[in-house]
Every structure is written in structure tokens, then in C-alpha cells.
A and B are shown apart, each in its own frame.
Chain A
């Protein structure tokens, strides 16, 4: 199975900050990576697929990059609505696997 490792587990930031979350795959997954945002008590919401394609309706301050085994999610200017937990997920092969999550907290 492909293991996904996210860092950091927790991130403290202020409104307006640029935030970067890293996700590493245990083997190459090409660009078959999605990023999700989850708020407490809610279902996840897809932000980015195919490593860098923004899902329809997602604000442009979110961006994704990377291929192979190293990926990043960047929020260019953190907004109050962005405080949440973020997950990466590979869909190169079954079983699909998620990273352990990165909680973005208010500093």
C-alpha cells in the first residue's frame, strides 16, 4: 500500500499569512493526488485534484503543486474561513490512502 505522510501535523498561523502543507508519498503517484478541507462535524470538501487543478468554486488563494512523491498545498493569504484540517489523498492505486491530516489553527 502507498503511505502518505503530511507535515506539519499542526500549524499555527494568522489571518493573511502564507501557509504551506507538505505531503509525501512512499512511492511515485505521478499527479494522482487530491487535497481536502474538513471542518469539525462536517464532511470533507475537495479543494484540488490531479495535484494542481483547483476544484470548481474553490478560492484561488488555494494552490497545489508537485508530482511523483512530493506535493504541497499553499494558501496564499489565510482567511478566517480557512482554519480547518487538511488532508492529502493518493488515488494512483487501490487501496486509496489519506495523509494523517494537518490542522491549521489560529495563532
Chain B
């Protein structure tokens, strides 16, 4: 059974840092990419970042809103995805979901197949 379990959400002051984790189980993460997607209270979904589990460093991409402040990483030996968030702002307040997508096969690329339950990050003084 596939599971993604996020942890690390907290209340944090503006300008501070926070690290989120996402533990994956039940599938071979090396065949997937790991993503973070967030949702501010009462708002829509915003894609945040991606990394390939197998390729690791160098395969990252970020939303413009977090580039230079957030860092996505992975520990394939632990099947875990991370999001290091620095210089947090009020507008980073959101539920953060980790999600995964399997590698493209032939001419087919898939949607975000597996999702965690989300972890709430509140940035407030």
C-alpha cells in the first residue's frame, strides 16, 4: 500500500526557517519524482518544487515564488523527500502536500499519482 506521510509543519515567525519531511513507502521511489504542492487557507493549489528521486541534486525545479528561499532534496536510502524553507513570509502560510509522479513511459507522462495528507505551516509573528 502506497503511503506518503508528511511531517514538520509548525507555527513559525516571518524570516525564520522550517524543514518539512515526507516519508514514502509501498513503491519504488527511484522510479518517481517527488513534488511539493501547497494550498493557502481557502485558496487553490500551487505547485512548489520537484526533484527526481533517482537523479537527485541537479534535477530540481521551483516555482518563482519560492526560488532562492526553498530547497527540495531527497534521501533515496530512506525513501524520504524534504523541503527546506528559509526566509519564510506570511504568504507561505499553507498546507504543504508532498506528491509523487512515476517516470514517463514512452510518449506518456502521468499526473501526480500519490499524495500525502498534508502538513500545515503557519507563518505569523
Taking CB atoms, residues of chain B closer than 8 Å to A34 are 110-112
CB distance from B40 to the nearest CB of A (A): 12
Name which of B35, B47, B61, B118 has the most chain A CB atoms within 10 A of its CB. Answer: B47
> How many Å lie between the Cα of A101 and that of B46 in the bound state?
11
CB distance from B27 to the nearest CB of A (A): 14
B108 interface hit (Cβ, 8 Å): yes
Contact B50 A44 (CB under 8 A): no
What number of residue pairs across chains A and B have CB atoms under 8 A from each other? 63
CB distance from B74 to the nearest CB of A (A): 17
B36-72 Cβ-contact flags toward A at 8 Å (1 or 0): 0100000011110010000000000111100000000
Contact A89 B111 (CB under 8 A): yes
> How many Å lie between the Cα of A50 and that of B113 in the bound state?
13
Taking CB atoms, residues of chain B closer than 8 Å to A96 are 35, 47, 50
B117 interface hit (Cβ, 8 Å): yes
CB distance from A105 to the nearest CB of B (A): 15
Known: A43-B117, A44-B112, A49-B109. A98 touches B44 (CB 8 A): yes
Contact B44 A87 (CB under 8 A): yes
Known: A1-B64, A94-B61, A95-B62. A46 touches B46 (CB 8 A): no
Taking CB atoms, residues of chain A closer than 8 Å to B45 are 36, 38, 44, 87, 89, 98, 101
> How many Å lie between the Cα of A32 and that of B118 in the bound state?
25
> How many Å lie between the Cα of A44 and that of B35 in the bound state?
13
Taking CB atoms, residues of chain B closer than 8 Å to A20 are none
